[in-house]
Amino acid sequence: MKTRNSRISPSEITPREIFMNRRKFMVGAAAAGVGLAAAGSVLGAFGPEKKVMAANTLQTVPSQWNGKGLQETSFYDITHYNNFYEFGTSKSDPSKYAWKLKTEPWTVEVDGLVHKKKTFDMDALMKLSPLEDRVYRFRCVEAWAMVIPWVGYSLSKLIDAVQPLSSARYVEFVSVDRPSQEPGIMNVSIPWPYREGLRMDEAMHPLTLLTVGLYGQVLPNQDGAPVRIVVPWKYGFKSPKSIVKIRFVKNQPQTTWSLIAPSEYGFYSNVNPNVDRVQWSQKTQRVIGAPIWKQLEPTLMFNGYGDQVASLYKGMNLSRYY
């Protein structure tokens, strides 16, 4: 079975053992450069600007973002327990079928209320910013959780590059819609393509990650190759995979899950232990892959990122805007 993007030749993939050892070594070292091994290896997969970019990755990863003290979920679990309905509704479907998606060539079209509309190919996206290693807690609304070492850069870098107009208040994301390569699209009746959205200040927040890799490798298809969004203080469905469009708009965009079940999946969907959903209590979460005595843990407000993001929602009633 194919779990990684076929475009990388085996020699370009850092063997997991070596990467893990290097990683252990680096966790002990200073925070500066923590992202180096990971970012370097992902860059290798994206072609000629490798050298330039590798040099640029020598930068400090802010200590609150490098996931110190968090036990990372295994690569196996991160790539075999997925939600990606384009490939089916079962957690194991994406690992079985996502290899069908052709992720090269790939473009992301950025349009709407911006000065510089532009269609980026992956090379152009990789030129916008050096990559960083960011270990984030991940929380699905279905009450399971993981800790995932992503590779990417702040979405704000892309937003700055296209210069939104002052009238742009929201950002809409659209995932790829290719029935011939995504068997779930024919079998799962939700209105395709998958759509998500963020308020402008949420999209601009430095924690919001334009994500191109995990565990130092290009994103496996089932995790949203070649590029997805990750918003660590929101439920997992707020992180659209395999995106092909980013649109800047004036009004709050329609999002797939709020369209299907508005009472369950609000537009904001901040991780919040105090707001239960119809089907799932949000007070606790099950940590995938953890030893049994550590599997159940309390859900943290804003998934533990309150210090960084609570100010975005000052004065908002988060039970109403859930």
Ligand X SMILES: Nc1nc2c(c(=O)[nH]1)N[C@H]1C(S)=C(S)[C@@H](COP(=O)(O)O)O[C@H]1N2
Residues making contact with ligand X (CB under 6 A): 82-86, 140, 175, 194, 223-224, 236-237, 239-242
Q: Which 222-281 positions form the footprint of Mo ion (CB under 5 A)?
A: 236-237
Q: Rounded distance, CA 289 to CA 77, Å?
A: 7
CB of 33 to ligand X, least distance (A): 26
Q: How far apart are CA 14 and CA 22, in angstroms?
A: 10
| Residue in this structure with the two tokens 């290693």, named with its chain if needed | 133
216: partner contacted, choices Mo ion, ligand X, none (Cβ within 5-8 A by kind): none
The H-or-E segment that residue 210 falls in is strand 209-214
Specify the residue, 133 or 223, whose C-beta has the smaller distance to ligand X: 223
Q: In this structure, which amino acid lies at residue 198?
A: L
Are 150 and 134 within 8 A, CB to CB?
Answer: yes
Structure-token pair, residue 305: 């990122």
Do 158 and 118 meet the contact criterion of CB atoms below 8 Å apart?
Answer: no
CB 236 to ligand X: min, Å: 2
Name the minimum Å distance from CB 99 to ligand X. Answer: 15
Q: Please say which residue, 39 or 140, places its beta carbon nearer to Mo ion.
A: 140
CA angle 214, 109, 5 (to 5 degrees): 30
Q: What is the closest distance, in whole angstroms, from the C-beta atom of residue 138 to Mo ion in the complex? A: 9
Cβ proximity to ligand X, 169 vs 178, nearer residue: 178
Q: Which is nearer to ligand X, 33 or 304 (CB)?
A: 304
CB-based closest residue to ligand X:
236
- For the bound state, the minimum distance from the C-beta of residue 129 to ligand X, rounded and expressed in Å, comes to 21
For the chain, how are helix, strand and coil distributed in percent, rounded to 5? 30, 20, 45
Counting contacts by CB under 5 A, is residue 322 touching Mo ion? no
Nearest distance from C-beta of residue 64 to ligand X, angstroms: 22
Q: Which of ligand X, Mo ion, none sits in contact with 175, Cβ below 5 to 8 A by type?
A: ligand X
Query: With respect to Mo ion, which residue has the nearer C-beta, 67 or 240?
Result: 240
Contact partner at residue 144 from ligand X, Mo ion, none, CB < 5 to 8 Å by partner kind: none
Q: Which does 240 bind (CB under 5 to 8 A by kind): ligand X, Mo ion, none?
A: ligand X
Using the rule CB under 5 A, is 140 a contact of Mo ion?
yes
CB of 236 to Mo ion, least distance (A): 4
Q: Which stretch binds Mo ion (CB under 5 A): 134-142, 164-172, 176-184, 295-303?
A: 134-142
Per DSSP, helices labelled H in 9-134 are 16-28, 36-44, 50-56, 75-80, 93-97, 122-127
For β-strands 217-218 and 209-214, DSSP reports them as antiparallel
Note whether 287 and 295 are within 8 A (CB): yes
Task: Select the binding partner of residue 285 from ligand X, Mo ion, none (C-beta < 5 to 8 A, by kind).
Answer: none
Nearer to ligand X, 21 or 92 (CB): 92
Q: How far is CA 199 from the centre of its chain?
A: 16
| Start-end of H helices in the chain | 16-28, 36-44, 50-56, 75-80, 93-97, 122-127, 155-162, 184-187, 200-204, 256-260, 306-309
Question: Residue 38's beta-bridge partner residues?
Answer: none
Binding site for Mo ion (CB under 5 A): 83, 140, 236-237
